[in-house]
Amino acid sequence: MAPDSLNISLTTTDPNALFMPGKYTSGFGPVISNGKRLDFPLGGNATAITSAWSNVDNNYLNINQRQNISVWIYMGDSNSAAEGVTFVLQNGDDPISSSTANNVGKIGGGETIGTWGCGLASSVRSPETMAARAIQHSWALEFDTMVNGSTTIGSSTKGDSLDGYQVNDGGGRGIRTQHVGWAYPGDPLSYTKDGGNNWYILNHNDTSELDTRTNSEKRLAWHHLAITYIPPEKGSNIASLTYKINDKDIKGIDFNSWDRVPFAQGEVGATIPLALDKFELKSDRLRFGFMTVGAAASSFKGANASVLFETLPGVIQADTNAYIINKTNQTKIIESDPHKTNNNHPDMFDGSDESLPTATRAHPKDELQFKYLLNFVSGRSNIDNATVKISLPDGIDFETDPTKQIGEIDYGGGNKQIIYGQTPSTGSDSNHNEFKEITVNLDRNLDLTTCQAVISINGVAADLPAGTETVKVPPSHAGVSTDQYYADLETKPFTVYYPDDTLTLTKTSKDPQVLYNQNETTVTGHWDFDKLATATNEDTEIHYSIDGADEIVTKDTISKMGDFELYLSNLSKKEHKIKVYVVNHNYPLEYDKDGKVTEVDTFVSNTVTYTVTVEDKALRIDSKSDQELIATGNMDVGIDGTHSYNDSSSFKNDDLTLHTVVNGIDTTTQLSGSDAITSGDFSANIKAANLKVGDNPVKLYMTDSHDLKSNELEFNVNVPDTTLTLIPDLTDITALYTEVARLGGTINYSDNAAFKNSDITLNITIDNDEPYMYELTGDDSATTNKFVYEKSGGELGVGDHTVVITATDGYGRSSTPVTYNVTIINKSLKLKSDKGYSFKSINASPETRILPRSGDWTLEVESINTKWLLSAQCTELTDTTNDRNLAGGLIYTNKDGAIQSLEDSQVLLRQTILSARKKKLLILLVNGRRITESY
C-alpha cells in the first residue's frame, strides 16, 4: 500500500534526468521501480551503502525563491529495516562524490548513515577531523531507525556513539529509541566528545523520538516528509526551513486535524534558521539527496529503503493554502501554524481575505465559503489537467442540485469556472473512516500566464441537532493530482454553536434624508448587546457600503459608548442606499482562572439601510388632471396644478412664469401674487384656437426669476373629429335694395356637444368673390344655436346673388358649405290674398237676397316704387264637387253704395296705395232657390 507519486528518472548520462546516483557500495546502486519509486536495494546486507542526488542542472533548491519538496519515505518494518535514511541539502557546486569516509577511506556506514562524520579512524581526534569525514557544505535531517550510543554521558563506545547522551540539548538528554533530528554534517560544531573518550556524539537538533520502522500496519509504513524553504530577508544570510514528518496519511489526510493519530505516528517537525554560509555557496543552487545504509545483522535483518516524490521544485514549484471565509460575520477560519496544516503557504490569501479577523467558531445559518488556493510559481512542467477531490465536512449544508451553483474557480483576469452542485461520493482515509467528497476538474492549466486557481465552495452552517450545544466541524480536504504534481490542502476544524446573545443596531438619525445643493451629510446609529455590558466602541467595527459598492470598515471611538456617526461626502445627485451593520470580533467566550479572556467570538448585528437623496434646488410642479384630456365642444381646455420648491423655501408668484407648450408652440403666462408662500396653485388655459382635430401634445413647466426651470408635465388633448352642421332657414331670399337680406339658420355638432355662438366663425363667399370671416356673437351655451347674417341690399346691388356660408369652429372643424340665393330688387308689385274666403250661411228661400261675407276678406297690395290698379272679375259660381252651377253671383259695392256685378266685367277696386284691407267690398247676391247652399 503506497501513496500516489510523480514519474521520475534516474541516470548518470541523461542531462534531463531528475536524479543521479551518488556513492554506493558496489552492487547496491539506487534504481527506479515502476517509473516512480526510488529504491535503495540494501538487500539485507549490513555493510551496504547507497545514495541518490538531485540533478543540480534541472532539479535543485533555489535559495532565492520559496521552495517546496514533498516526499514519502519507507524504511522497513519491525523485523527488517535500514539503519536509517537522511535527507541532505548540499552545495550544488560540490561533486556528488563528496560524502562520508570511514577509517579506510571508504563510504562511512553504520551509525553515520553515510552522512555524518565517522570516528573509527585513529586520526579522528577533534571535532574538525570528525567533521572532515562527513558530507561537506551540507545540512541533513536523519530518520534513525536505531539508537547508536548510551543514554548516559561517557558510556558510549567507539563506532556506536553518535546518538550518545546529548549534553547540548537543553540540560542534557538521552536518546532512547528511533528518532529524527538535524545538524550540519561538515560543521565541527555538530560534534562533541563523549565524556573523556576519543569518540564523538552528534549534536542533534530538535530531536524527536518517532517510530519509523516498528509499524503495526502497512498503511503506516510510509512516512511523509514536507520541506518548505523560505529565502532570507534582504541583507541576511539566514533562511527559514520548515520540515514536517507524519503530517498526513497515505491518502493525504492530516492525522492531527482529524483527531485520528495512530500510536507513535504523531506529526513531528520544526522551523529552523538555515545558515546559508555553512554551504559556502558560489551559486543559488542547493542539491538535495538521500543516503541510506544497511543495518547490522545482529540487530535485525536489513531491508530496502524507498522514496516516492509528490512535489519537486525542479518539476513544479507551487504554493497552496486553504481556509474558510465566514461571509456572515466577516471573519476567516485559518490555520497559520505551518506545523498544524498541510498547506505549504499558510500566509497566502485571495484578495483582501488576509485583512479579515481570525475566528474559530461559527453560528448556525452562517454563510461559509471554503477556499482552496493553488498558485503555480515555476517549473519545467505546468499544472495540467488537474483533478481536485474535495471532502465536504459534516455539519455544513452544501448544494447538491446539478442545476445550481455550489462554487467557482477564479483564474484571475475575469476568467471564472462555475462549479455546480453534485451528489457527493464516498471517500475515506487510510483507516477507512468515510467522508463525503466531490470532484472538480480544472478547465484551465496553470502556468506562468495563468498562475493561480482559487477554488471556492459555498456552504451554510447547519442547525445543531436537538439537545446539542456545539458541533465540531472537521477539516475539508482537497487533494490535487496531476501527472507531475500532487498536493493536499486542508481547512482548519472549527466549532458551530448557538450564540447566547444578540447584537442589535438601530438608526438614530432622520431617515430618509434629502440634501439640496450639497453632497455631504452624517448618519447616526446605536448598537447594543442584549447581555454583554463590557463591549466597547474600540471592539466594534462599523461596516457600510454605499449603493452596493465595496464595503468600508471603520470605527467610531469618539462617540458615546454604543453610538456611532458616519460622515458621508462626495455624494452624487441621486438616491443613495447606505447599508450598515456592526461587527464585534472580541465577544468573550472563555476565561482562565485569572479572569483573562482565552477565547472570543464574532457577533454581527442586523443590517439597517439609510436613504439619502441628493438634489439640486428644484422648482416642482404637479397636477392631478388626467394626462389624457378630451376637448368638449368648442371650449378651451383647462389644466390645474400646484407648484413649490423641493426644499420648501418660500417664493412669490410674481417671480414665476408658466409655460404652456401646445403642439410645440410655447405660450407664457406670468403668475401673479406678491405674498410669500411655500406652495401655490396654477391653472393653464389651453385655447381652442391652439388645438387641432386629433391628438395635441401639451407640456407644462415653470421658470423663476433666476431662470430655474421646473420639471415638465406632459398631457395629451384629444379633439374629437365630430361633424359641424349648418342648416339654413331659407335658401331663396329676396330683399329690397333699401333693406337688408337676412341669411339665417341653425348650427350644431353631430355628437350634440354644447357650444357658444362666439366659438363659431362664418366663412362667407359672395358671388365667388374673395371669402371673408364673420365671427358670431353670443355666450349662451347650447347644443343647437341659431344665427342670422345680415347683408344690406345696397351692398349687394340689385340683381341675383349667390352667397356661400361655411361654419368653422376654433379647432378648425368646418360644416358643409350652404348656398343662399339672394335677389335684390329696387321696385315690385305684389297682391296677397287668402284662399279661404267664404260667405255666411243661407237657408232655401224663393226670394233674391244679398249674402254678406263671413269674416274679413283681406287683400294686400305691396308696391315698391310702382303705381297700381286693383280690379276684380269672376265667373259663375260652381259647385265643383257636384259639378253644378250655384244660384247667384258676386257683386261689388263701392264706397258710394253703388252695386256692380263682377261677372259682367272687371270692376276697379283701388289704386296706388301700398296696402288695403276692406271689409265690405265683395257681397254675394243669391237668386231665389229652394235648396240650402254653402258659398
List, for residues 220-236, the tens digit of each pLDDT value: 788 999 999 999 999 99
Pair 489, 342: CB distance under 8 Å: yes
Pair 282, 522: CB distance under 8 Å: no
Q: Which residues contact 536 (CB under 8 A, 6 or more apart)?
A: 561
Q: Please tell me the distance from the alpha carbon of residue 407 to that of residue 399, in angstroms, as a whole number.
A: 9
Cα 199 versus chain centre, distance: 76
The whole-number pLDDT of residue 829 equals 76
Q: Please tell me the distance from the alpha carbon of residue 579 to that of residue 565, in angstroms, as a whole number.
A: 14
Give the pairing of strands 331-333 and 425-428. unpaired
384 has pLDDT over 90 = yes
213 has pLDDT over 90 = no
Pair 40, 30: CB distance under 8 Å: yes
The predicted-structure confidence for 51-109, as pLDDT tens digits, reads as follows 999 999 999 999 999 999 999 998 876 566 678 899 999 998 877 755 565 655 567 78
27 has pLDDT over 60 = yes
3-class DSSP state of 812? coil
Cα 329 versus chain centre, distance: 21
Residue 684: enclosing H or E segment and its boundaries?
strand 680-686
Pair 237, 276: CB distance under 8 Å: yes
Pair 676, 719: CB distance under 8 Å: no
Torsional sign, CA 570, 572, 575, 579: negative
Using the CB atoms, write b or e for 420-445: b if 16+ within 10 Å: ebbebeebebbeeeebbbbebebebb
Give the pairing of strands 317-326 and 367-378. antiparallel
For the entire predicted model, the pTM comes to 0.65
The whole-number pLDDT of residue 918 equals 36
Give the pairing of strands 361-362 and 494-497. parallel
Q: Return the minimum-mean-pLDDT range out of 146-160, 669-683, 761-775, 904-918.
A: 904-918
Bridge partners for 899 per DSSP: 893
Residue 725: enclosing H or E segment and its boundaries?
strand 724-728
Set of cell numbers at residue 651: 417664493
The predicted-structure confidence for 490-504, as pLDDT tens digits, reads as follows 999 999 999 999 999
The whole-number pLDDT of residue 261 equals 63
Compute the mean pLDDT over every residue in the chain, rounded to the nearest whole number.
88
